[in-house]
Chains A and B, each alone.
Chain A
Amino acid sequence: MSEKLVDIQNEKLSFFTPAGEVKALNDVSLYIRPGEVLGIVGESGSGKSVTAYSLMGLTAHPGRLTGGDIYFNGHHINKMTEKEMRRIRGNEVSIIFQDPMTSLNPVYTIGNQIREGILLHTKRSEKQANERACELLRLVGINEPEKRMKQYPHELSGGMRQRVMIAIALACEPKLLIADEPTTALDVTIQAQILELMMSLKEKLDMSIIIITHDLGVVAGMCDRIAVMYAGKVVECGTTDEIFYQPSHEYTKGLLRSIPNLYEKDHKKLVPIQGLPVDLLDLPEGCPFATRCPNCMKVCMKHMPEYTDLSDNHYSACWLLDKEKFMKKQRGALT
């Protein structure tokens, strides 16, 4: 196995709110290899963003890591001070957010906001930083960069602003780009353009990408691997093909049944997943998906399923898989 750019091991993270401890992440384990695109999917509140922010040391108050380790590019993230983290942020790892309308500061020019990170992390002069900013704008497909540099965010369209956000993120050629639902707020046609841009930049700059989404269909084409999150846990992780054609976790299967399939002619009926997400303030003992799972068994309510390796890349946490293995083993013993 090649070396890992990101290695998150058993990350536990809680928000200590007045209402109690919100267990946002419960044992998240993930890794990303250099140059790889990892998709993280899961419904709202499953902990996708929290995982990404913690990787950048940007966990919002009152959140705190309560266990596990995060390694990135040779850094032991959860052992680093804020000052050390600042040198990495925007430099080795960058992030773009969901809403480009609100992610840029309305009172500063585009140029000012792109320059900022360059001046912070490199020894460039103001003038060199300006040149670099223009170069970045050209790189993300914005024409007339000199003119755009002097404009304010409100003078640009949504798609254009997301390109600017990408330019800001790429200012220092990061090893990892995190995209937190980068296209959710955009028109469908713009969505495709932005995703395409990200892919071409990945090739050019040789970086890894984490793309967060709750829409499996949108990112399927661009991900090498997909991690499916549920209630602050990676319930299944595998290559894109494995997730789409051999989904093994009941939640993943439900997720696939609930998205429209654009490639097949026979429009199967879409089946939304029934029930409500679990209460993170009061997590069940066993499988977090138990209350909504059509195949829930007694053991699921009592014990947390452990990961079963299905291939080199593919693992999943569901008792059904263990049971099958168990049955196979039993059958093998009889014959």
Chain B
Amino acid sequence: MLRYVVKRVLLAAITIFLVATITFFLMRMVPGGPFIAEKSISEQAQAALNAKFGLDKPVWVQYKNYMTGALHGDFSLSLKQRGRTVSEIIASKFPISAKLGGLSVLIALAIGIPFGSIAALNRGKWLDQLIMVIATCGIAFPSFVICTVGMYLFGVRLKWLPTFGLTSPLHYILPIFSLAFYPMAYITRLMRSSMLDVLDQDYMRTARSKGLSRSRSLFKHALRNAVLPVVTYVGPMLAYTLTGSFVVEKIFVIPGLGGQFVSSIMTRDYTVIMGTTIFLATLLILMNVVVDIIYKMIDPRIQLK
């Protein structure tokens, strides 16, 4: 166990370091800069701004400065949002995205697991086919299609749901379902195939031969084994979903981290790009650890090492 913790922490440090380094230099290779596009700024003002943020120094010096700061928990000021630190920006935007993302993953699980199981139990019958058609659509349609169709249908046509902002619980419904659609479809398919696999296992026959009812053997013996691949998928997926989707946030006008990240790339807000990337990498690694632990709890054969 101790070995596992040490190994994980070391690996995490190396991964985050590499991600930060690669992002830093890639970002600089893209033409343009944070203060170039602004026509109103004079040459001198531009030079002054560059000097203020240290952008006039050689790239590797900038790299060294940034990394030393980051190591001490200082992720610098945003280059474009005057006076706000990157940490503040993430702290204000992440909760919004995380709330939406977390709820949508919960819904994806709550729908995907039972429906995948139902499809497996009805293999080849019409119910299975219906569920699989819907699940395939969920995977095939890009999220902006789902968003616009949902918006048009429930917002514009039926006028049941508001279409932008997040001011009431009702406002959450469309964005959450738009976010949930893909993982829901994916989990359904995953669950179906792993359930089919489990149903054929010898221990299911043993369970039935003890006199357990079909439903008891299903809930006790099949579900726990069948859900393992879903756990593996949900970990990383959760990290991505919590940090927000650019498309969904743009369409429903939600001030989340996903939208922030993309706009920071557009405006070459170097420090925000770096901060968000490091944040996402850390979250991903954390999620993988959580997956490991949950996996171990479900399946005693797994050794954490």
Contacts and interface: CB of A to CB of B under 8 A. Distances in A.
A15 interface: no
Contact of A103 (B203, B212, B224, B301): B203
Given A152-B300, A152-B301, A120 B202 contact: no
- Determine the main DSSP class of B at the interface with A: helix
Contact of B210 (A99, A116, A152): A116
Interface residues of B, number: 19
Nearest to A102: B202
B212 A116 contact: yes
A99 B202 contact: yes
Given A106-B225, A152-B300, A154-B301, A56 B209 contact: yes
A187 to B, nearest CB: 19
B42 to A, nearest CB: 69
Given A106-B301, A107-B225, A117 B211 contact: yes
B206 A103 contact: yes
Interface in A71-113: 86-91, 94-95, 97, 99, 102-108
Contacts of B7: none
Nearest to A99: B202
B211 A120 contact: yes
B223 to A, nearest CB: 10
A107 B205 contact: no
Interface of B: 201-203, 205-213, 221, 224-225, 298-301
A87 B211 CA distance: 6
8 contacts: A86-B213, A97-B205, A99-B202, A102-B203, A105-B206, A106-B225, A120-B210, A171-B210
A16 to B, nearest CB: 13
B211 A121 contact: yes
Most buried by B among A56, A58, A90, A121: A90
A58 B209 contact: yes
Contact of B299 (A104, A107, A120): A107
Contact of A105 (B209, B213, B221, B298): B221
Contacts of A168: 206, 210
Contacts of A171: 210
Contacts of A121: 211
A97 B205 CA distance: 9
Contacts of B203: 102-106
B146 to A, nearest CB: 36
Contacts of A105: 203, 206-207, 221, 225
Contacts, number: 67
B209 A107 contact: no
A171 B203 CA distance: 17
A97 B202 contact: yes
Contacts of B211: 86-91, 117, 120-121
Nearest to A18: B124
A103 B210 contact: no
A152 B300 CA distance: 7
Given A104-B203, A106-B225, A107-B225, A95 B209 contact: yes
Contacts of B207: 105, 116
A332 B203 CA distance: 60
B247 to A, nearest CB: 38
A90 B211 CA distance: 5
Given A91-B211, A103-B202, 14 more contacts: A58-B208, A58-B209, A86-B213, A89-B209, A95-B209, A97-B205, A103-B203, A103-B205, A104-B203, A106-B299, A116-B207, A120-B210, A165-B206, A168-B206
Nearest to A109: B300
Contacts of B202: 97, 99, 102-103
Nearest to B221: A105
Contacts of A86: 211-213
B149 to A, nearest CB: 37
B209 A94 contact: yes
Contact of B298 (A91, A102, A103, A107): A107
A30 B74 CA distance: 82
A95 B203 CA distance: 12
Most buried by A among B205, B211, B225: B211
A102 B211 CA distance: 19
B210 A102 contact: no
Contacts of A94: 209-210
Contacts of B209: 56, 58, 89-90, 94-95
Contacts of B212: 86, 90, 116, 120
A7 to B, nearest CB: 21
A89 B210 contact: yes
